[in-house]
């Protein structure tokens, strides 16, 4: 399955066979309409196939915890890539609202490696 890229003014989404990388742009607070749009692309691409979502936080954003309550059933894990100065308390709160594996990384390469290995282990 070749990778597919979706670019919008609000995000860049790269969907690989077993994992997707989403990077949000210029959003202090993530909007529900943007989450719905991203999930629509993910559902179309992955259908019923399991995948890991890597959230590449180049900028700090706030995410409504309710977004985690209605996740996709085939989303098996989430990895967050954030620079060292990113507020870890925010990430910890997000993690508490997600029932599947949720990990933090400082590099995208580490997150991709974890996603690839983790998908096989689940």
**Out of 20-29, 45-54, 58-67, 77-86, which region has the weakest mean confidence (pLDDT)?**
58-67
pLDDT (0 to 100) of residue 63: 75
pLDDT (0 to 100) of residue 65: 66
68 pLDDT more than 70: no
122 pLDDT more than 60: no
pTM as predicted: 0.87
CA distance 64 to 43: 21
Mean pLDDT, range 70-97, rounded to an integer: 77
- Cβ atoms of residues 108 and 56 within 8 Å: yes
CA distance 1 to 22: 18
- Fold exhibited by the domain 4-121: Transcription Regulator spoIIAA (3.30.750)
CA distance 110 to 116: 10
Rg (alpha carbons) of the chain, rounded to whole number: 13
- Cβ atoms of residues 60 and 80 within 8 Å: no
């Amino acid at each position: 399955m070749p990778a597919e890229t979706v670019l919008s003014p609000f995000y860049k989404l790269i969907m690989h066979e077993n994992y997707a990388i989403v990077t949000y742009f210029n959003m202090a607070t993530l909007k529900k309409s943007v989450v719905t749009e991203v999930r629509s692309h993910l559902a179309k691409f992955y259908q019923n196939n399991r995948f890991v979502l890597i959230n590449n936080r180049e900028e700090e954003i706030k995410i409504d915890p309710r977004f985690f309550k209605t996740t996709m059933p085939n989303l098996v894990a989430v990895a967050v890539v954030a620079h060292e100065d990113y507020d870890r308390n925010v990430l910890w709160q997000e993690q508490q609202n997600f029932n599947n594996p949720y990990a933090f990384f400082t590099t995208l390469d580490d997150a991709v490696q974890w996603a690839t290995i983790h998908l096989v282990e689940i």
